Structure 1
Amino acid sequence: MTDAPLLRVHNVSKFYGSRIGCRDVSFDLWPGEVLAVVGESGSGKSTLLNCLSTRLLPTTGSIEYHMRDGKYRDLYRMSEAERRFLMRTDWGFVHQNPADGLRMTVSAGANVGERLMAVGGRHYGNIRSTATDWLGRVEIGADRIDDQPRAFSGGMRQRLQIARNLVTGPRLVFMDEPTGGLDVSVQARLLDLVRNLVNDLGLSAIIVTHDLAVARLLSHRMMVMKDGLVIEQGLTDRVLDDPRQPYTQLLVSSILQV
């Protein structure tokens, strides 16, 4: 692990007129670290994720990324083309609804291959071979490589979206409720898969979830949001086992009682 943060977030706020999306959020994300952002619907966690991933322009604040050349760049001082290139290569974004992160009318292999072409892959045989390998890593059979995502179940689509994102060897992956809408048994297998891939690849990840069990399983550190503010943060086990804020205590106890 390097001694420099991968992402430096300083006083990020997003306002929608008089309504607060998120306010004064600051943190560092380290290489190989998984951060969970948790809270109820409307807490501001998705707004924050969209600001961090350059999908939404913050009202104030700065977000700096440690580029592969060792220099920090303010994401919102980069050109649109530079940000798009970062999203296609060094970053991944896993949507809650896999259809938002896949091209539904091309094959599973082409979905993975497109990302490889974005980083210069041109040899058809090599692209197909790498795509086959990655489908295997996310537990999709090689015989499904020419099937379109519309022929897949929800869990398989989510695994395909993960393969599409990770095939370029990104250093940072954003995940927005990655197990939302899936059956419990499918969720469990997917979470196990994600945890193993993140560990094996040494990825940094920011995961937005309302599910504290997901946060405990996947993350090293956790931020709890309420009304657009980060009200508690710390090591995941510490926050869940010894929550200090009344709101966090309520969240944890409500889960335990279910």
Structure 2
Amino acid sequence: MNSEPILSVRKLEKRYGNFIGCTDISFDVWPGEVVAIVGESGSGKTTLLNCISTRLERSSGEIRYRMRDRRFPDLAELSEAELRFLMRTDWGFVHQNPADGLRMRVSAGANVGERLMAIGDRNYGEIRSRASDWLEHVEIAASRIDDMPVAFSGGMRQRLQIARNLVTHPRLIFMDEPTGGLDVSVQARVLDLLRMLVSDLSLSVIIVTHDLAVARLLSQRMIVMKSGRIVEQGLTDRVMDDPSHPYTQLLVASILEN
């Protein structure tokens, strides 16, 4: 494993007045590692993800990111332009609802090509060719490059959102319940695709999910949250097979009963 983390979170807190969204959060993410953040609804996992990805302003704490030039600044030190560039190129964000991560009124090819233009690509033929390749990567026929996302099924929209995020070869991907709104059979297909792409591209991923089966399939390490705090973290197999905190034991027992 690389000796330097790509992301480091220390003592992160988000408050809404007197209400705590998350507090005292500290962990690292290493290059090529998938970290799952799990917990029931209201546990603070989505608040945490939104703070780390700068979609939500933190109240206190540090979030440091390893830039491509090896700098390791706190994200608060970056200018708005630098943050925007990170979000368009070096990071990806896969939403639960694909419509939140796609432009629904432009074609599938334009959705993918837009990210390439953000990193300076201007040759229309090359952009279209790479968009076509990426559609096929995510199991969408290249012949549908000019179709609008509104004409796609939920599973196809999610795969298109994945292609849009990965086309710029980002190093860190945030995923918020990426299979949450899909039918079970469609979920399995999207999960298989995600697992293959994450492995092939050596991506670092932070995935939020309430589904421990999804966490086990995709992640190497798991963070368990309850009431805005981390109650347990460790290697995914260890946490699943031998949970130490009563809350984690309850979560694991609940999937065994289903």
Q: Which amino acid aligns with 2:230?
A: V
User: 3-state DSSP class of the match of 1:72?
Assistant: coil
What pairs up with 1:100-249 in 2 under 5 angstroms?
100-249=100-249
Measured on the aligned residues, the alpha-carbon RMSD in Å equals 0.5
Q: Which amino acid aligns with 1:103?
A: R
1:170-217 deviation line (CA, Å, top 9, x unaligned): 000000000011000000000000000000000000000000000000
1:84 aligns with 2:84: yes
4+ residue segments displaced more than 4 Å: none
User: 3-state DSSP class of the match of 2:25?
Assistant: strand
TM-superposed deviation, 1:2:
2.5
1:75 aligns with 2:75: yes
Where does the alignment leave 5 or more consecutive residues of structure 1 unmatched?
Answer: none
Give distance in 1, aligned partners of 2:46 and 2:142: 34
1:191-250 deviation line (CA, Å, top 9, x unaligned): 000000000000000000000000000000000000000000000000000000000000
Give distance in 2, aligned partners of 1:80 and 1:219: 31
TM-score norm. by structure 1 comes to 0.99
Q: Which amino acid aligns with 1:146?
A: D
Give distance in 2, aligned partners of 1:192 and 1:76: 35
TM-superposed deviation, 1:17:
0.7
Give distance in 2, aligned partners of 1:147 and 1:227: 43
User: 3-state DSSP class of the match of 1:73?
Assistant: coil
Q: Which amino acid aligns with 2:43?
A: S
**Percent identical residues:** 74
Give distance in 2, aligned partners of 1:14 and 1:218: 27
TM-superposed deviation, 1:77:
1.6
Give distance in 1, aligned partners of 2:76 and 2:43: 24
How many positions carry a matched residue from both structures?
A: 258
Give distance in 2, aligned partners of 1:16 and 1:158: 31
Give distance in 1, aligned partners of 2:115 and 2:130: 11
